[in-house]
Amino acid sequence: MSGEPLLEVTDLVKHFPVKSGVIVDRVVAHVKAVDGVSLTINEGETLGLVGESGCGKSTLSRTILQLTTPTSGSVRFLGEELVGRSRRSLRPIRRQMQMIFQDPYASLNPRKRVGQIIGEPMELHGLATGRDVDRRVHELLDRVGLSAEHASRYPHEFSGGQRQRIGIARALALEPKLIIADEPVSALDVSVQAQIVNLLKDLQSELGLSYLFVAHDLGVVRHVSDRVAVMYLGRIVESAPSAKLYDQPLHPYSTALLSAVPIPDPKLNVARERLVLEGDVPSPIDPPSGCHFHTRCPWATEVCTVDDPQLEELEVAHVAACHHPRNLVPQS
């Protein structure tokens, strides 16, 4: 299986219809939440996915898991196509792709004990029965930094960080290969956030997990990711190994995002050059013509308003969709 990516997403599209009408609903437009996204994740790798609210990053992760049916495109996991499968035939594959959610309060059933929350998926998938379930639950709780006695408690008895640990234990219960983490630390305080980020990294090196790490916090994404993809209005506009993307962003949007992040160093903040974008993200119902970013881009020219730039490999392993990329190292 060497060389083959664990997850391969090609031209994935998810358009939501916008309906209007009093008696008969008519489709008047489409929200282009995900608009032709391709990405790959290799075994043991973390792909970070960043973007602002409404860029489609959460819809993309849900569409990859087939939690929403894609409009078109392909999702291959371990070489198998997921799009178009029945729920039943998806089940064994889903076991290997688990999700961790943003809100540790809303993603755990308040009526169930922690032991049930973690144990039930194992029973459903036939991974363990009877005593084995309890034993596994205790192991998992221990693994995520909680203790066995927590199994008999309810979610409301835990703090936000502890709940996120329970969510992680539940995801691990099915021995997945890929974990899609949608803003897993953004609801947490920084000191707790660091605990969870460290835990996720430890688990990865121990179990060989792959992550799709979706977040808006560029600092956290840089810390966990091997590669990073930047999304804007339903599309990936740039993707590169983490260090390259942060040191040498090619797309103006990536440059702007990075320069908007306040740095906890007052002198450096004053000293560095800032690119503050004007205006807001346009509506994904009717995205701008040509390059979606041209309405906010300080370097946009005529060509950007008509011609939609495609992702191109501008440097080794570094792709961007832009007519006027920044920071390119001149070829000698």
Pick from 18, 27, 28, 261 the residue near another protein by CB under 8 A.
261
How many residues interact with another protein (rule CB under 8 A)? 46
Task: Output the smallest distance, CB 28 to another protein, in A.
Answer: 19
Q: Please select the residue that binds another protein; options are 256, 300, 320, 321, rule is CB under 8 A.
A: 256
Q: Select the residue interacting with another protein from 218, 233, 237, 321 (CB under 8 A).
A: 218
Rounded to whole angstroms, what are the CA distances from 313 to 150, 157, 188, 292? 50, 50, 36, 19
Q: Which stretch binds another protein (CB under 8 A): 16-24, 30-38, 91-99, 254-262?
A: 254-262
R_g of the chain, CA atoms, integer Å: 21
Binding of another protein by 220 (CB under 8 A) = yes
* Cα distances (angstroms) measured from residue 227 to each of 95, 230, 246: 25, 10, 10
Give residue 229's identity as a one-letter amino acid code: A
Cβ proximity to another protein: between 161 and 284 the closer is 161
106 makes contact with another protein (CB under 8 A): no
Residue 68 has, within 13 A of its CA and on its CB side, a CA count of 17
Residue with tokens 């979706």: 214
Residue 277 touches another protein, criterion: CB under 8 A: yes
x-or-dash pattern for another protein, window 140-179, by CB under 8 A?
A: -------------------xxxx-----------------
For residues 205 and 332, which CB has a smaller minimum distance to another protein in the complex? 205
* Shortest Å distance, C-beta 91 to another protein: 36
User: What secondary structure does DSSP assign to 191-260, as a single string?
Assistant: HHHHHHHHHHHHHHHHHT-EEEEEES-HHHHHHH-SEEEEEETTEEEEEEEHHHHHHS--SHHHHHHHHH
Give the number of C-alpha atoms closer than 13 A to the C-alpha of residue 100, restricted to the C-beta side: 32
Looking at this protein, which amino acid is placed at residue 269?
N
Which residues 47-86 are close enough to bind another protein by CB under 8 A? 52-53
- Contact call for residue 195 and another protein (CB under 8 A): yes
Looking up tokens 């660091």, which residue turns up? 194
> Residue 12, exposed/middle/buried by CB under 10 A (0-12, 13-18, 19+)?
buried
First to last CA, the chain: 38
For the bound state, the minimum distance from the C-beta of residue 112 to another protein, rounded and expressed in Å, comes to: 23
Question: Contacting another protein (CB under 8 A), which of 125, 153, 223, 323?
Answer: 223
Please tell me whether residue 112 binds another protein under the rule CB under 8 A.
no
Taking CB under 8 A as the rule, does residue 18 contact another protein?
Answer: no
217 contributes a contact to another protein by CB under 8 A: yes
Q: In what order do the strands lie in the sheet with 72-77?
A: 26-41, 7-20, 72-77, 80-81
268 is a site residue for another protein (CB under 8 A): yes
285 φ/ψ angles, rounded to the nearest 5 degrees: -75, -40
Q: How far is the CB of 160 from another protein (least distance, A)?
A: 8
CB 199 within 8 Å of CB 144? yes
User: Is 281 a binder of another protein (CB under 8 A)?
Assistant: yes
Least separation in angstroms between CB 281 and another protein: 8
Which residues contact another protein by CB under 8 A? 52-53, 159-162, 189-195, 197-198, 201, 216-220, 222-223, 242-243, 246, 256-269, 274, 276-278, 280-281
